[in-house]
Amino acid sequence: MVYADPIRQEFASGLFYDQRGESFYLSPDKLQSDHAAVRFEREIRLFRAHCQAGAVLDVGCSTGAFLLSLQRQYPGDYSVFGTDVVAAAMEYAQQRGVQIIRGDFLDFSPGEAAFDAVTFWAVIEHLAEPKKFLHKAASLLKPGGICFVLVPNLRSLAVRILGSRYRYIMPDHLNYFTPATLKAFGASCAPFELIKLGSTHFNPIVILKDLRSKAGRVPDADRAQLLKKTTTWKQNRLLWPIKLLYSAAERFLGSLYLADNVVIVLQKRGPAGGDDCAHEP
């Protein structure tokens, strides 16, 4: 595991993200992309393989796109909760039906294990003390509950080609994981058992753009605009032959753990509660 040292206070406190609430997280391009039907299709497919119903807490929920998409596709199956450090994004999510938990996640105490699933989609890499968050998630899960962790892959094809020019090698990413170190990270939390390790997502457009650009942080507006473009392409039915080739390339890279992200699925030890979240057959 590679990590930043020292860590700037604005990253550790979450102030950096809260200050970008209106300009980035609530920008029209970002909202349109995040709430598109295809945006979280991989995460939802993975999630459904391990959790078919129950109470879900999304840590770093932003504007609630994952949770709202989950409810939209599987109405009645889930009760959804979110938490974040970006006040404006949480307000947006709450106005659309997400139950928001405010305050420091590490201080949250519902009195007993309350959730069937906890998700960290592209969150752990932003945290100064990621192990504390993982242990907190374990304490909030029912026995048999599931924890999902997805982070950028330091062993990805993109990193191998671009090195430090890759746009996701950035100051606010405080931790970097390979498949091996993410697996070890999951194993460091004794209440959990690892039930899946994988690699997912691939964006060749990012590689092409970063090859042509100078090193340095990509402006938020450019990131949001590219996300909007790629989301629009995915929704265009006329591009299905290209999408088939793209999907095949993504699956191939994933099989080699070279896709853009690496993901683990952890199950809290103990009997599963009813038929909600359980180890896939």
pLDDT of residue 275: 46
Q: Are 212 and 36 in contact (CB under 8 A)?
A: no
pLDDT, tens digit, 9 for 90 and up, residues 132-174: 999 999 999 999 999 999 999 999 999 999 999 999 999 999 9
> Where does the pLDDT of residue 21 fall: very low under 50, low under 70, confident under 90, or very high at 90 and above?
confident
Q: How far apart are CA 136 and CA 85, in angstroms?
A: 16
pLDDT, tens digit, 9 for 90 and up, residues 112-133: 668 999 999 999 999 999 999 9
Q: Which of 269, 267, 116, 145 is nearest to 197 (CA)?
A: 267
Q: Read off the pTM.
A: 0.93
Task: For the chain, list the domains and their CATH numbers.
Answer: 2-152+173-201+260-268 (3.40.50.150)
- Cα-to-chain-centroid distance, residue 250: 18
